[in-house]
Amino acid sequence: MAKNDIKVALIGNPNTGKTSLFNQLTGLTQKVGNYPGVTVDKKKGTCKLSTTQNAVITDLPGTYSINPTSIDESIVLKTLLKKDIKESPDVILVVADVENLKRNLLLFSQIKDLEIPTVLAINMVDQMSRKGISIDLTALKEELNTEVVLISARKNQGIKNVKDAIIKCHVAAKASPMCDANYKIDPEYFDKLKAINPNFSLYELWLMVTQKNFPAEISKKEKEQLLSFNKDVSRLKKYQHKETIYRYQEINKVLKKTYIVDKSKATDLRSKLDKVFTHRIFGYFIFLAVLLLIFQSIFDWSSLPMDLIDTTFAELSDFARNNLPMGILSDLIVEGIIPGIGGVIIFIPQIAILFLFIAVLEETGYMSRVVFLMDKIMRRFGMNGKSIIPLISGTACAIPAIMATRTISSWKERLITILVVPFTTCSARLPVYAILISLIIPNTKIFGFYNLQAFTLLMLYALGFVTAILAAYILQKTLKIKSNSFFVVEMPNYKLPSIKNVAFDVLEKTKAFVFGAGKIILALSVVLWFLASNGPKSYKNAAENVTNNIENSQLSATELQQKIGSVKLENSYIGIMGKSIEPAIKPLGYDWKVGIALITSFAAREVFVGTLATIYSVEADDENTTTIKEKMRSEINPETGKQRFNFPAGMSLLVFYAFAMQCMATLAIVKRETKTWKWPLIQLFGMTGLAYICSLIVYQILS
């Protein structure tokens, strides 16, 4: 960022097209970072305002007011209260929806009282004539005493005017409060407040009192003085209420002179669609149909790119193996890093497709209707209508799902949602389910048409959801957390999704997965590779011992190599670990080989398949999955003399993978979001314990 760049903060109510404007202004220069100390994503981008002037634009989370009720919203307050001098904006760009101008101006009036230069961009003006709205722009500018521009961000109209207004506002750098509401309420009280530090605007000081949020320039003494105002809570509350009423009175005065709505001209698409989408019966059917469509599409659309990624990385490994000089470094690349990266990339198609659907549903306004329909049901289980979005996202990957809980303002409901999301069937479980199902479930039809294997998979999905819901119910009853939250969801107008917004959203969430989960999966892959390719003496002598064994003299060269690989793994550190947990997992029907696979699954669950492939000394190429299956099928449990992966053991493993917390990346994200190791540890031991008990019961009953 150059020194003379204007720092612009983009602020607005949710559903005002703030994101569209941000995308128009910054395009591909966007970068997502983190706010220090909190985990809300910070989106920044550069915008060329004129030939000589650039601006760095920060997209702040959507909010209805500066007084925050969720973590997302508290960012706005923190940015505006200049907690961080480097981040404090020179100009604030407030986006408002032309149809809800009155409500949008409340936030504007608060910001104006902070006495920072402010530009008001009234968005979606292309809808004005359809809604019967007319605005006297000159009068509005005068009344609000600020730069006002009319734009249509989606249609890329008025963007140039926004840029000009930012420059103009920055140059003029004059800023006067709009309401100074507080003086009207109790002049004496607020004079005393202002006297504490006249360098701040009255409203800033008031926010420090009500939100207990202090900038660095506030001295310890001043802080104490401010906190003394906080003692009389009922008075604060009363004054906040009065302030809001006063603001609306001022806004009404302004709008009376400048804003006319002819209601007779308004068309009513919203109420017609609402009658269908929120219908007490059809509403649920439509939601169910949408869900089925989404899951079907994920399977249909992702199989081709996933196969492609799979083969590409297998070829890349081969290529590297053949072209790199032999040695530990090339082993690390061929067996650790390339498969590790492949293991991350392989999930991108499923995750991107799911987030594509979620972004479209959110953009159209349908998601708010789902929240409305589901709130009461979810509340019975200690969650919130808004929890439905994380729970659906969890079927792709728990990491973006857990991040999606940030909009839930009640801490208890949010925490419960975070804790149960990993029960939903994420995409890493699918390869494991696929191979186990094909081993133990016959490929026959039930009810004459439904494939039994597909049915089992469906049941596993259902098991994930049901367990999540039941776990939430138990947590609701046991967690002693007091959190008073107020539930309010705006029901936005229905609109066609903007391709640009959807694309950016998908890109951003996929990135969150790749960089959030990816680096942990990759790091663990390397660690596991090391543990699997090193070991004590017996490991080093493996090749010699196998070759010298007379039993093996009949084997072909490749078979011999595979046998050596298998024996090496058995004697590696990870093999030793697998063997040492064998007594614990024996009652579940597993041996040390499965034990190794369970341990390696901590990188990502799908590693299970690859690990077993190595153990059963086959190449893990795609074409050879049948060979893995054959090998697994012919594996004998020496104690019973029966198949190792028979029905009881297979079911037990399925149940284990459905419940166990085996994802380091998820644990790391939960730690980040809850700011303590307590909750991820509860997840790790609670879920894995549940998995152990259930698998034990399943195996013991079935065998």
Partner 1 sequence: MNTIASLRIGEIGYISEGALEFIPLKLLEMGCLPGAEVELIQIAPLKDPLYICVNGSHLAIRKEAASQIQILKSEF
Question: Out of 85, 488, 496, 550, which residue is the one contacting partner 1 (CB under 8 A)?
Answer: 488
Name residue, tokens 């750098």.
Answer: 173
Task: Calculate Rg over the CA atoms of the chain.
Answer: 30
Question: Out of 29, 53, 54, 65, which residue is the one contacting partner 1 (CB under 8 A)?
Answer: 65
Question: β-strand 54-59 against 147-150: which pairing, if any?
Answer: unpaired
Q: Does 330 bind partner 1 (CB under 8 A)?
A: no
496 secondary structure, DSSP code: P
C-beta of 210 vs 572, nearer to partner 1: 210
Burial code (b: 16+ CB inside 10 Å, e: under 16) for 614-641 equals: bbbbbebbeeebebbbebbeebeeeeee
C-beta of 489 vs 555, nearer to partner 1: 489
Task: Name which of residues 370 to 389 contact partner 1 (CB under 8 A).
Answer: 371-373, 375-377, 385
Q: How many CB atoms lie within 10 A of CB 461?
A: 17
Q: Does 69 bind partner 1 (CB under 8 A)?
A: yes
Inter-residue contact 364 to 497 (CB < 8 Å): yes
- Measured over the CA atoms of residue 477, residue 478, residue 480 and residue 486, the dihedral's sign is negative
Inter-residue contact 380 to 410 (CB < 8 Å): no
Secondary structure (DSSP) of 65-92: -SS-SSHHHHHHHHHHTTSSGGG--SEE
Question: Out of 2, 281, 326, 557, which residue is the one contacting partner 1 (CB under 8 A)?
Answer: 281
Cα separation, 517 vs 337, in Å, equals 15
C-beta of 461 vs 494, nearer to partner 1: 494
C-beta of 230: minimal distance to partner 1 in Å?
A: 15
Secondary structure (DSSP) of 316-341: HHHHHHHHSPSSHHHHIIIIIIHHHH
Q: Kindly indicate which of the ranges 180-188, 369-377, 445-453, 613-621 contains the residues binding partner 1, using the contact rule CB under 8 A.
A: 369-377
C-beta of 237 vs 253, nearer to partner 1: 237
Cα separation, 127 vs 125, in Å, equals 5
C-beta of 227: minimal distance to partner 1 in Å?
A: 20
Q: Kindly indicate which of the ranges 187-195, 350-358, 484-492, 524-532 contains the residues binding partner 1, using the contact rule CB under 8 A.
A: 484-492
Question: Out of 231, 486, 550, 551, which residue is the one contacting partner 1 (CB under 8 A)?
Answer: 486
Inter-residue contact 632 to 645 (CB < 8 Å): yes
Q: Does 431 bind partner 1 (CB under 8 A)?
A: no
Question: Out of 368, 417, 438, 453, which residue is the one contacting partner 1 (CB under 8 A)?
Answer: 368
C-beta of 413 vs 570, nearer to partner 1: 413
Task: Name which of residues 87 to 106 contact partner 1 (CB under 8 A).
Answer: 99-100, 102-103, 106
C-beta of 371 vs 397, nearer to partner 1: 371
C-beta of 274: minimal distance to partner 1 in Å?
A: 6
C-beta of 272: minimal distance to partner 1 in Å?
A: 12
C-beta of 86 vs 376, nearer to partner 1: 376
Closest CA to 301 of 351, 251, 336, 252: 351
C-beta of 388: minimal distance to partner 1 in Å?
A: 13
Closest CA to 135 of 179, 174, 99, 93: 99
Tokens representing 573 are 């550190």
C-beta of 79: minimal distance to partner 1 in Å?
A: 19
C-beta of 270: minimal distance to partner 1 in Å?
A: 8
C-beta of 264 vs 271, nearer to partner 1: 271
# binding residues, partner 1 (CB under 8 A):
39
**Sequence-separated (6 or more) residues with CB below 8 Å from residue 55:** 5, 6, 7, 8, 46, 47, 49, 91, 163, 166
Closest CA to 7 of 88, 102, 95: 88
Task: Name which of residues 213 to 252 contact partner 1 (CB under 8 A).
Answer: 237-238, 240-241, 244-245, 248
C-beta of 378: minimal distance to partner 1 in Å?
A: 11
Cα separation, 412 vs 391, in Å, equals 16
C-beta of 410 vs 438, nearer to partner 1: 410
Name residue, tokens 């310890």.
Answer: 220
Cα separation, 27 vs 24, in Å, equals 6
Inter-residue contact 156 to 24 (CB < 8 Å): yes
C-beta of 240 vs 643, nearer to partner 1: 240
Cα separation, 698 vs 386, in Å, equals 34
**Sequence-separated (6 or more) residues with CB below 8 Å from residue 540:** none
C-beta of 281 vs 496, nearer to partner 1: 281
Task: Name which of residues 489 to 518 contact partner 1 (CB under 8 A).
Answer: 489-492
C-beta of 237: minimal distance to partner 1 in Å?
A: 7
C-beta of 279 vs 678, nearer to partner 1: 279
Inter-residue contact 10 to 18 (CB < 8 Å): yes
Cα separation, 306 vs 313, in Å, equals 11
Q: Kindly indicate which of the ranges 24-32, 213-221, 482-490, 566-574 contains the residues binding partner 1, using the contact rule CB under 8 A.
A: 482-490
C-beta of 206: minimal distance to partner 1 in Å?
A: 13
C-beta of 190 vs 287, nearer to partner 1: 287
Cα separation, 397 vs 404, in Å, equals 11
Task: Name which of residues 99 to 138 contact partner 1 (CB under 8 A).
Answer: 99-100, 102-103, 106
Cα separation, 637 vs 429, in Å, equals 25
487 secondary structure, DSSP code: -
Dihedral over alpha carbons 449, 453, 456, 458 (to 10 degrees): -70
C-beta of 108: minimal distance to partner 1 in Å?
A: 12
C-beta of 377: minimal distance to partner 1 in Å?
A: 7
C-beta of 83 vs 102, nearer to partner 1: 102
Cα separation, 610 vs 673, in Å, equals 31
Question: β-strand 450-451 against 259-261: which pairing, if any?
Answer: unpaired
C-beta of 197: minimal distance to partner 1 in Å?
A: 25
Q: Does 283 bind partner 1 (CB under 8 A)?
A: yes
Question: Out of 189, 284, 461, 647, which residue is the one contacting partner 1 (CB under 8 A)?
Answer: 284
C-beta of 196 vs 373, nearer to partner 1: 373
Tokens representing 368 are 């708010």
C-beta of 620: minimal distance to partner 1 in Å?
A: 49
Q: Does 473 bind partner 1 (CB under 8 A)?
A: no
| 3 state SS of 525 | helix
Q: Does 255 bind partner 1 (CB under 8 A)?
A: no
C-beta of 145 vs 278, nearer to partner 1: 278
Q: Does 280 bind partner 1 (CB under 8 A)?
A: yes
606 secondary structure, DSSP code: T
Residues that bind partner 1 (CB under 8 A): 64-65, 67, 69, 99-100, 102-103, 106, 237-238, 240-241, 244-245, 248, 270-271, 274, 278, 280-281, 283-284, 368, 371-373, 375-377, 385, 486-492
